[in-house]
């Protein structure tokens, strides 16, 4: 919605949440912009390529890519399995890397990529090992691809703190589970969108990661 309010036409990707994606499309169209829904998993290269093909076919040239879809599981060194690791690395890291490649292969004079990260990239949280490593790697890829794709394409990241409770958990559980936050408040979803839009409006900025986490990353440790 924030991108639509800024005037962008929007391709919405979903996997299972088709009703929500369609409702978002209707909301965007009410704003007077065009919107399309593409559906698919981000769990293997063929599926990612198909999703990109459908998005590009619907919208034509894509000028902004926001890599947001992710899996967050609590898996420790003791509980993680190969399937759990690849199940998080595909949507959280491999798909954004491939989408970056497809995005850059378009004939674009200027483009923007924003990767959704996590404030945990500044810590060593042992309670969600595959998730944390996928986001740390995506943070490094944000910087590497910023260098690789300059000056045509800028690549930046937004690293949220606690915003929404995980699927299946009540909204009120977030404050209890969020840990210590220097600014005392959890983060409103609109602030994440504001950070994405702000980065799109900063033409001299690339390879930058903006933490929107009430200062939580400054504490460093996962359990403070
Ligand atoms: N929520 C927070 O407090 C928080 C904190 C820090 C960082 N973040 C980051 O911010 C971003 C958005 O967070 P969120 O809480 O909105 O995420 P989310 O609700 O957990 O997941 C967003 C969507 O990703 C899609 N998805 C997941 N796995 C997929 C797969 N294998 N293939 C295709 N689509 C897949 C799902 O779409 P469908 O529903 O259509 O299946 C899901 O609804 C994520 O990158 C997350 O890591 C969030």
pLDDT tens digits, 194-206:
999 999 999 999 9
CATH of the domain at 152: 3.40.50.720
Structural domain includes residue 115: yes
How many separate domains does the chain show? 1
User: What's the CA-to-centroid distance between 224 and ligand 1, angstroms?
Assistant: 24
* Alpha-carbon span 130 to 84, nearest angstrom: 8
* Alpha-carbon span 214 to 205, nearest angstrom: 22
**Closest Cα to atom 42, ligand 1: which residue?**
69
- Tell me the pLDDT band of 218, cut-offs 50, 70 and 90: very high
**Closest Cα to atom 3, ligand 1: which residue?**
163
User: Which residues have CB under 8 Å from 201's CB, separation 6+?
Assistant: none
Considering only CA atoms, which of 143, 145, 3, 1 is closest in space to residue 64?
A: 3
pTM of the model: 0.96
User: Which residues have CB under 8 Å from 130's CB, separation 6+?
Assistant: 73, 75, 80, 84, 85, 87, 88, 89
Q: Which neighbouring-strand residues pair with 116? A: 158
pLDDT in tens, 13-61: 999 999 999 999 999 999 999 999 999 999 999 999 999 999 999 999 9
pLDDT in tens, 112-158: 999 999 999 999 999 999 999 999 999 999 999 999 999 999 999 99
Q: What is the pLDDT of residue 62?
A: 97
User: What's the CA-to-centroid distance between 69 and ligand 1, angstroms?
Assistant: 4
Structural domain includes residue 182: yes
Structural domain includes residue 185: yes
Structural domain includes residue 11: no
Q: What is the pLDDT of residue 223?
A: 54
The Cβ-side half-sphere exposure at 221, using a 13 Å CA radius, reads 3
Tokens 């929404």 sit at which residue? 164
The Cβ-side half-sphere exposure at 185, using a 13 Å CA radius, reads 5
Structural domain includes residue 152: yes
Structural domain includes residue 126: yes
Considering only CA atoms, which of 174, 75, 42, 63 is closest in space to residue 113?
A: 63
pLDDT in tens, 60-74: 999 999 999 999 999
Q: What is the pLDDT of residue 175?
A: 65
User: What's the CA-to-centroid distance between 118 and ligand 1, angstroms?
Assistant: 11
Ligand 1 pocket residue status of 14, Cβ below 6 Å: yes
Q: What is the pLDDT of residue 84?
A: 95
Ligand 1 pocket residue status of 73, Cβ below 6 Å: no
Ligand 1 pocket residue status of 4, Cβ below 6 Å: no
Q: Which domain holds residue 137?
A: 66-219
Tokens 């000056």 sit at which residue? 151
DSSP state of 92: I
State mean pLDDT over 201-217.
97
pLDDT in tens, 55-111: 999 999 999 999 999 999 999 999 999 999 999 999 999 999 999 999 999 999 999
User: What's the CA-to-centroid distance between 67 and ligand 1, angstroms?
Assistant: 10
CB 58 within 8 A of CB 36: yes
State mean pLDDT over 174-181.
73
**Closest Cα to atom 1, ligand 1: which residue?**
164
Q: Which neighbouring-strand residues pair with 11? A: 36
Structural domain includes residue 53: no
Q: How many residues appear in the chain?
A: 224
**Which of 18, 47, 67, 70 most suits a substitution to test ligand 1, by most atoms within 8 Å of the C-beta?**
70
How far apart, in Å, are the Cα atoms of 72 and each of 107, 182, 209, 220? Answer: 34, 24, 20, 20
Ligand 1 pocket residue status of 70, Cβ below 6 Å: yes
Ligand 1 pocket residue status of 8, Cβ below 6 Å: no
Q: What is the pLDDT of residue 222?
A: 53
Three-state secondary structure call for residue 65: strand
Considering only CA atoms, which of 191, 196, 190 is closest in space to residue 215?
A: 191
Structural domain includes residue 213: yes
């Amino acid at each position: 919605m924030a991108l639509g309010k800024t005037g962008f036409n929007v391709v919405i990707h979903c996997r299972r949440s088709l009703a929500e994606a369609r409702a978002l499309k209707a909301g965007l169209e009410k704003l007077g912009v065009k919107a399309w829904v593409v559906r698919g998993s981000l769990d293997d290269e063929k599926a990612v390529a198909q999703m990109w093909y459908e998005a590009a076919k619907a919208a034509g040239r894509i000028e902004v890519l926001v890599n947001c879809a992710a899996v967050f599981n609590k898996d420790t060194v003791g509980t993680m399995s190969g399937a759990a690791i690849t199940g998080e690395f595909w949507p959280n890291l491999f798909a954004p890397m491939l989408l970056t490649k497809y995005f850059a292969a378009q004939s674009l004079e200027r483009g923007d990529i924003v990767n959704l990260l996590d404030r945990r990239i500044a810590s060593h949280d042992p309670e969600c090992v595959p998730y944390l490593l996928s986001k740390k790697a995506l943070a490094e890829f944000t910087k590497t691809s910023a260098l690789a794709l300059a000056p045509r394409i800028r690549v930046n990241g937004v690293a949220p703190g606690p915003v929404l409770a995980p699927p299946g958990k009540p909204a009120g559980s977030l404050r209890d589970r969020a840990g210590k936050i220097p600014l005392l408040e959890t983060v409103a979803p609109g602030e994440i969108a504001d950070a994405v839009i702000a980065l799109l409006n900063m033409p001299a900025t690339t390879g930058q990661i903006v933490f929107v986490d009430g200062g939580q990353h400054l504490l460093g440790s996962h359990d403070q």
